[in-house]
Chain A
Amino acid sequence: MKRIRNALVSFAIHRSWTTILFILLAVIITGSFFPQVNIDTDPEHMLPENEKSRVFHNQAKKTFSLSEIVVVGVVNSKNPNGIFNPQTLQRIHTLASFAKNLNWEDPDKPGRRQGVIEVDMVAPSMVEHISQAGPGTISFDWLMPKAPQNQEEALAVREKIMANPMLAGRMASEDGKSLCLYLPLTDKHLSYRVYKALNEKIEAMTGDDQFHITGLPVAQDAIGVEMFTEMMVASPLAMCTIFFLLFYFFRKLSLTILPMIIATFSVIIAMGLMIGMDFDVHIMSSMIPVFLMSIAVVDSIHILSEFFDAYTPSKGREETVREVLGTLFMPMLYTSLTSAAGFFSLALTPIPPVQIFGVFVGFGIMVAWFLTIVFVPAYVMVLPKKAFTNFGFEAHTEHKNSIMDALLSATGRTAYRQAKPIIAGLLLLLTISIWGISQIQINDNPIKWFAMDHPIRKADTDLNTHFNGTHPAYLILDSIKTDTRSAKFRQDVSRRFITFAQQISSHAPNAPQLANKLLSELRKESSAGTLDQSFLDSAIAITDRIAEKASDADYYVYDELKSFFSLEQERLKPFKRPDVLQYLAKLQNTLESNGLVGKAYSAADVVSKINQEMLDGSPANYRVPDKLQSVGECYMQFQQGHRPHDLWHMVTPDFGHACVVVQLSSGDNKVMEAVERFVDDYFKTTPPPVPISHKWAGLTYINVAWQNQMVQGMLRSFIGSFGIVLFMTVFLFRSLKWGLLCMVPLTMTIAFIYGFIGIIGKDYDMPVAVLGVLTLGMSVDFAIHFVERCRSIHPHTGSWKKTVPQMFDAPARAISRNIMVIAIGFLPLLTSSLVPYKTTSLLLSSIMLLSGVLTLVGMPAIITLAEKHFFSGKQAIKTAQQ
């Protein structure tokens, strides 16, 4: 190891320009990939392509032609009639007519259009209104074909919407103050184009209405835009802050710029390579600069701090560099390796964007390490000589009694003298934190990724105050096919067939006789083995064959008999059965009254609505009728309207599968999970009339699916990296106790941070989860440096008591500088309009502070209490450098 180190450092010192040139070349090459950057904000991609719930989600989307939807919310709280006034409705009408034309010729598929799917739009002017038009008369008409001319007509529109449970609470809020237009897209990637066009149109409108354009595809686009802003503005801003802090510490522009160069180069190389390897930039990987910069800066601060302290003009730069690298090479390699290991362990999570993030941050850390080892000496060597005048700790001795130094030495003294109370206090805090961890709420909500004042978040808040639920999830129901070839099925059908024949014998006296003839014919064929189709198909075929030759009178009887078998075929389609639809209706009611769900609708509502209007229009008749034929007739009547295709978003044409649309009161994963549990329980305690399996689809559910994977995955990766880091520290110090000691600050930091999160009730979401791993890498960094220095100083002083003051000199200063740089450096991210960035910023600062304090207070306190254990025998003399 020593040989490699010397070779690297010598090369960098003697061929400094070549080294710099090579590094610049690498930066230019990887940097050239940046223009190909591809932003990916699709939450679906949080799951691997072949992941079960993602595959199911996509299958369901195809089966029920479900599209991503842009929602235009219109709110009017000023008018006493809410949005139901002629002016607002006129604007809504205009906007709907405008929106339905927001589609264009598809350049890839000639003849096909892309953009808003007009036929699936939900708007007052474009949905069917089924109603009573006088006694015994039913009317199928557009709900609002023309904008109303006066207030009376506007209120009539309200009445029409509220009369349809599928629209009330979905298209217009029950309080009448807001209305949503739903614009399904052929492809979510078109949402930005649609959004822009709508925005322009809306801006040209006058009046006191508020318009919100929202929906998942819009939110995704917005995240993409914000991510770009963060990468282009917030990260450089953080960098500037770090730069000023460093300048404050080192007072030398040419040297303080060094950590910045190393951080920037590491980010460019790691991200450039990632983009060059064709990985999309996801919300996670957009944070690579932030993470990498903090870690890269930490490494070079160690070296700079050491260099600053060790430099004397008499020693000269070459010797100082060699000396500093001699001391720091191994600890830096190990801190980098441990931090990298922490991030590489993210590859164990089953979430592709997190895997990519982990691997490339890990890679970037190693790049930063390499640059520090090679670039720093080269850079120091090529600087003009005058850059070093007035540099170094010696030159700044007047600062010796600075506040920081006084504080540090006081900390050291306290840690030594008050070891017992400190440990007791820490144990108490640990206990509280463990309780706090048990209170953690695992939850995420992509809408809450936006800050409160972001238009998307405002839209969500505003619309949710009027609607009970705007976040769709799809409950997919799949029936299990009945075995129509079994003997039991045959016997059952045959028995009922005879009963049926007897029932119709009042107006067809020979029906039982003909029925028996048919059955014996069927039996003959089945025993002859020619019956290769299902029993019902054969029965129908045989009846047809016999009827064709029959007399007119017999033909009609046969026709009736045949209808029995055909009807049995329909009965085999579960979502035509009244009992199944009634079951669905009841499930929906229970869900709605439970409060978690604002609105649920399904094919049962289609049937109920038609049934109501076919009978007399009274609300009491909004129900699923009891006869199979009545349900069939309702379905057929619905299909005879303007929008028959609406049905196929709720049920498949074979009526074997159904989709219940559930609008959740919030996009919170915990709400989705609660609904999932509720439905599971419902199916268990109240089994459906026929065997039906249920599963969820929709992006709201996909979020839950990947969250679950993330929590387990993070735990796995955390345990994995904890093990790796422990192994490495044990190996580095050739000692289990010192290795374990290194794990103390990070374990406590993580416990405190998560305990705190649990206690204040902040949701455990993606950034919080990922930061656990970062903590691991950062804290262990401090601990390794601390232990390393302890063990190299101790042999010279011979006692722990004398070691402490020395520890709280240069080593502690380097650590504190790091803490301050990172803790303050990332505060500019608080200005971000994306909450994950804010969380990262705050947590990063607290993690740095905590792990620093724990390293500087906790570790010496522990060593003090167990001095004999740590410094005994020959081991104490050995340091990792040997």
Chain B
Amino acid sequence: MSTTTMPLIKGEEENMNIKSFLLGLLAFIITLIAAVVIASTLLLIEISYASETSTELNGNEIVKRANHASLYQGTTCKGKVALKIVDSQGRIRNRSLNIIRKNQDDSDGEQLYLTYFKSPADVRKMVFLVHKTTKQGEDDSRWLYMPSLDLVKRIAAGDKRTSFAGSDFLYEDISGRNLCEDTHEFIGTEDGEYLVKNTPIDSSSVEFSHYVAHIDPKTFLPMLVEYYKNGDQLYRIMEVVEIKDINGGNGQTYPTVINSLVRNLETGSTTTMTYSDVVYDIPLKEELFGERYLRRPPREVMR
């Protein structure tokens, strides 16, 4: 990619933005008409019957779509991540890293993640590689590359609720929690968002007793996730601050969370995660996610 081609791309992007805006407007009008039609139809049918069907529609279905929206959009994705960790005393730690991701199938199953550390400078070039699986009873494969020792280390499964780069985000927040580990119950709507209560099937494996996700009915992105302990004790909050529509490869638009935060109420620490330069559907070879590349990360990851 040379610098001279940049303006052209920008122009195209603007063009596409207008197109997608018109497209979105059209979709909105259609949705509106549809909504009016459905609403008036519903008025004619018995209310109890109607509400029953909407509950039936939700639950697992909502979570499945939310899972797709937050983790599987596009076949590949690349972005720069800035983590800003502010502790209870207001002291700040920053980290920056690049992440690339590749879906292995179209059914929201296996994925490959590669995280490349850029700062702090003493961990620059450290790489974290994940081969994620959604198969029941199987664990993700994780590797770590430590450049100063020139050492690749495999990380044993354990649980996925360890800190991500020392932030308040957990490893599981980044690569997703396996849907089959929880039961999902639609418990109503609030401020126009679906509320889904997720309860772990094996409660001894995690520190929470349940979590409630507030899911945007349009994008299906979880806008707010509240984690509870001992039934009713809120101790952790994950919140979406900003969403941006980003174009994918084949004319599709992906609403993407570019700014989110996690508040740990127990330690008083908060982490803000900002995504920038997010691109979808770029060609990423599978070898990039192999052990061999950990030592010599590809340039497409570094810049």
Contacts and interface: CB of A to CB of B under 8 A. Distances in A.
Contact of B166 (A101, A140, A549, A640): A640
Contacts of B157: 139
B303 interface: yes
B149 A630 contact: yes
Interface in B244-272: 265-267, 269
Interface string B276-303: 0000000000000000000000010011
B64 interface: no
Interface string A587-612: 00000000000000000000000000
Interface string A470-481: 000000000000
Most buried by B among A111, A563, A629: A629
Contacts of A654: 91
B293 to A, nearest CB: 16
A834 to B, nearest CB: 38
Interface in B121-180: 121-124, 126, 144, 146-149, 151-159, 161-166, 171
Interface in A639-679: 639-642, 644-645, 648, 652-654
A627 B153 contact: no
B204 A629 contact: no
B153 A137 contact: yes
A830 interface: no
Contact of A642 (B117, B156, B163): B163
Contacts of A80: none
A653 B149 contact: no
Which of B92, B120, B204 has most A Cβ within 10 Å? B120
B203 interface: no
Given A632-B120, A637-B144, A65 B158 contact: no
A567 B158 contact: no
A452 interface: no
B162 A640 contact: yes
A628 B88 CA distance: 28
Given A549-B3, A563-B121, A615 B269 contact: no
Contacts of A65: 88-89
A636 B126 contact: yes
A556 B299 contact: yes
A136 B123 contact: no
Contact of A615 (B2, B91, B149, B161): B149
A636 B123 contact: yes
A145 B202 CA distance: 13
A555 B303 contact: yes
A552 interface: yes
Interface residues of B, number: 50
A717 B257 CA distance: 69
Given A559-B302, A637-B144, A642 B162 contact: yes
Given A636-B123, A645-B269, A629 B147 contact: yes
A845 B152 CA distance: 75
Interface string A162-185: 000000000000000000000000
Contact of B119 (A118, A552, A556, A566): A566
A639 B165 contact: yes
B233 interface: yes
Interface centre among A134, A625, A630 (most CB of B within 10 A): A630
Contacts of B3: 549, 551
Contact of B121 (A145, A570, A640, A641): A570
Contacts of B152: 136
A637 B152 CA distance: 13
B289 to A, nearest CB: 18
Contacts of B88: 65
Contacts of A576: 122
A632 B166 contact: no
Nearest to B158: A141
B178 to A, nearest CB: 18
A134 B267 contact: no
B29 to A, nearest CB: 42
B153 A614 contact: yes
Given A549-B3, A627-B148, A629-B122, A133 B156 contact: yes
Interface in B15-68: none
A614 B151 contact: yes
Nearest to A565: B121
Contact of A633 (B149, B233, B234): B149
Contact of A138 (B124, B156, B161, B267): B156
A633 B93 contact: no
B155 A113 contact: no
Contacts of A136: 152-154
Given A62-B89, A629-B148, A113 B122 contact: no
Given A119-B266, A140-B162, A633-B149, A653 B1 contact: no
A625 B146 CA distance: 13
A633 B117 CA distance: 11
A631 interface: yes
B239 interface: no
A160 B117 CA distance: 31
A146 interface: yes
A569 interface: yes
A549 B3 CA distance: 8
Given A632-B123, A633-B126, A641-B163, A552 B154 contact: no
Contacts of B155: 137-140
A596 to B, nearest CB: 32
A134 B155 CA distance: 10
B166 A630 contact: no
B5 interface: no
A112 B266 CA distance: 8
B87 interface: yes
B163 A639 contact: yes
Given A549-B3, A555-B303, A642-B161, A629 B156 contact: no
Contacts of A551: 2-3
The listed residue with most A CB atoms (<10 A of its CB), out of B88, B157, B267, B299, is: B267
B165 A640 contact: yes
Contact of B165 (A552, A569, A630, A636): A636
18 contacts: A133-B156, A136-B154, A146-B204, A549-B3, A556-B299, A556-B303, A566-B119, A566-B121, A614-B149, A627-B148, A630-B148, A632-B121, A633-B126, A633-B146, A633-B148, A636-B117, A639-B166, A640-B163
Given A65-B88, A570-B121, A633-B147, 14 more contacts: A112-B265, A137-B155, A138-B144, A138-B156, A140-B158, A140-B162, A141-B158, A552-B303, A614-B151, A627-B148, A629-B122, A630-B148, A642-B161, A654-B91
The 7 A-B residue pairs whose C-beta atoms are closest, nearest first, are A632-B122, A639-B166, A566-B121, A629-B148, A139-B156, A133-B156, A630-B148
